Amino acid sequence: MRIGILICDQIRPEFEGQFDDYPVMLEQMMLKIDSTLEFTFYQAFKGQLPESVDECDVYLTTGSKHSVNDELPWIENLLQFVSLLDTHKKKLVGICFGHQLIAKALGGSVSTSEKGWGIGVAFNQVTQAQTWMVDESNQAPSGLDIVVSHKEQVDQLPAHTQVVASSTFCPNFMIQVETHMLGIQGHPEFSTDYSMALTNTRLDLIPANRVREGFNSLSAQVDDLKLATWILNFFKGL
């Protein structure tokens, strides 16, 4: 399987050498699940997109510091590409920014959350278990605990969309559009160390009590590899 990674941002310059860049984080996460996977990288935030939806078998996005509501040419082009993928029923998994990109491209909406920043680990409930949500025990999943970093949320869903994981903080945490698109507000590719480092660059933007809550949550065990397995199962149509 060849996965096309649509790169929507890069790590901060001061993190170079300390943390991998976003597409590498995603690549390494997926290779832990299946070492035979192949990848093609597209710098979407620099205007590079596939010439055909069939260049790759499936697609996966990184997150971004940008908003899908920013009026930037590359974001508009990417929205159009997501719409094209939808027309062709080509599989796409959107991470954070990509999750919101799917919602907006297909007729939903995204706005700044009145609840403020989501940071640290988000604790979610699986609301509609899917066939691709399997683990070693083959038991129906109940929760999904994943690192997050966002101040915007999907507030209106596109047509033909179901919420498959949710929390009181982020009701539309994970959404599925028919059987070919999956949006995830969290970052399974982020380590807790990276979450702490990234939050420390935003202390002037995030209230101190929210920072404390976020840092405290980072001691929890996260479901990063479980979610990576789900993503691969989704791609395979399991």
Active-site residue list: 96, 187, 189
Q: What is the spatial distance between Cα 80 and Cα 9, in angstroms, rounded to a whole number?
A: 18
Helix H or strand E segment including 112: strand 109-112
CB 103 within 8 A of CB 159: no
3-state helix, strand, coil in the chain (%, to 5): 30, 25, 40
CB 99 within 8 A of CB 183: yes
Amino acid letter, 80: Q
Q: What is the spatial distance between Cα 163 and Cα 176, in angstroms, rounded to a whole number?
A: 6
Q: What is the spatial distance between Cα 164 and Cα 104, in angstroms, rounded to a whole number?
A: 18
